[in-house]
């Protein structure tokens, strides 16, 4: 799952797999007129927050429109969730923050939101609705012992919905400022999920290998390992500050062994599926909805193969990284219009 490194000094954009922040830092440098780009600069958005607010009713319609490629039966379940009040929408005293989809085999799959009217809130509604429809279809088609899907596939349906939403918005957006905001969110999803989580997974794998080799697992060794990986993944064009070596110590996921790679595999799968749904149409939609109905009745890799994605090959990851490159090209072109 770890992406290959560039072995030349030529532009990393020449191949479909390239260090993300080498290209993204170049974009950031032009946007902010920077002479150097550090590891924290790439977390700054390319454009400020949109001065737009959406009512919850508008958000509902946006999500319905986004999932239209999945067919009327999928939309009908979304409408059912709206009409039957499966969703606790707004923040409230004593209510937990964030957003969640939950429930049990013989209940509706309820959603807890903290809707605030931002575009991020709209995306969160789409995301949680993906979890909810996945749970709903699994419970409708599987007995209790097979109704729960595994963690390996848990973020696929939610991310497919997010991608369908952003693709639908981009297809109908001509304002450069708004378009760059959407593209920036897309790029952040790739950087934070496909690249960063894969880097985390390699750190975790190497730390366990150190123990197996009988090496001391102390702070200095882990600091050195983490800094080397940041340099490998983010490229020499970025200034790597010494402080970055301590970042591993604040990542709680490392206390749940071999968990983080699932973010990267799930996101790559979701990109492949959403691209197939939009380009191939009904055959891809049929396979995808069958996948949503499988719950835990088959091995995760077999379920994803049924949906049309074979993670035993590099093809889905290659396709996701090619998609990343196209989004980055679009962002650079859009940025040029604003300058």
Catalytic residue ranges: 128
Taking the C-alpha atoms of residue 109 and residue 210, their distance in angstroms, rounded to an integer, is 43
Helix (H, G, I), strand (E, B) or coil at 310: coil
Q: Strand, helix or coil at 7?
A: coil
Q: Distance between CA atoms of 34 and 27, rounded to whole angstroms? A: 10
Q: Is the distance from CB of 273 to CB of 281 less than 8 angstroms? A: no
Nearest to 27 by CA among 44, 15, 10, 14: 44
Asked if 234 and 19 count as a contact pair (C-beta separation under 8 A), the reply is yes
Are the C-beta atoms of 125 and 57 separated by less than 8 Å? no
- 170 and 179 Cβ atoms separated by less than 8 Å: yes
User: Per DSSP, what are the bridge partners of residue 90?
Assistant: none
Q: What angle do CA 98, 101, 103 make, to 5 degrees?
A: 135
């Amino acid at each position: 799952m770890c992406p290959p490194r560039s072995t030349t000094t030529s532009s990393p954009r020449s191949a479909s797999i390239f260090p993300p922040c080498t290209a993204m830092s170049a974009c950031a440098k032009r946007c902010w007129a920077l002479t150097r780009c550090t590891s924290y600069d790439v977390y700054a958005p390319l454009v400020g927050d949109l001065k737009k607010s959406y009512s919850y009713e508008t958000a509902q319609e946006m999500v319905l429109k986004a999932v239209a490629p999945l067919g009327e039966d999928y939309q009908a379940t979304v409408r059912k969730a709206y009409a039957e009040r499966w969703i606790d929408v707004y923040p409230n005293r004593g209510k937990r923050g964030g957003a969640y989809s939950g429930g049990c085999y013989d209940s509706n799959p309820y959603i807890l939101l903290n809707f605030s009217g931002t575009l991020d809130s709209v995306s969160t509604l789409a995301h949680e609705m993906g979890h909810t429809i996945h749970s709903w279809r699994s419970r409708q088609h599987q007995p209790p012992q097979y109704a729960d899907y595994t963690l390996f596939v848990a973020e696929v349906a939610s991310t497919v919905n997010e991608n369908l939403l952003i693709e639908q918005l981009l297809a109908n957006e001509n304002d450069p400022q708004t378009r760059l905001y959407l593209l920036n969110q897309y790029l952040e999803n790739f950087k934070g999920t496909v690249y960063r989580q894969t880097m985390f997974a390699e750190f975790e794998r190497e730390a366990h290998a150190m123990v197996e080799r009988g090496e001391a697992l102390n702070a200095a060794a882990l600091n050195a390992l983490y800094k080397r990986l940041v340099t490998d993944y983010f490229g020499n064009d970025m200034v790597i500050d010494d402080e970055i070596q301590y970042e591993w110590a604040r990542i709680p996921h490392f206390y749940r062994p071999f968990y983080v790679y699932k973010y990267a595999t799930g996101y790559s799968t979701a990109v492949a599926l959403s691209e197939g749904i939009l380009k191939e149409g009904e055959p891809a939609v049929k396979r995808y909805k069958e996948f949503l109905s499988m719950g835990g009745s088959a091995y995760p890799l077999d379920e994803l193969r049924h949906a049309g994605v074979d993670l035993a090959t590099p093809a889905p990851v290659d396709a996701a990284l090619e998609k990343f490159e196209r989004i980055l090209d679009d962002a650079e072109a859009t940025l040029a219009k604003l300058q």
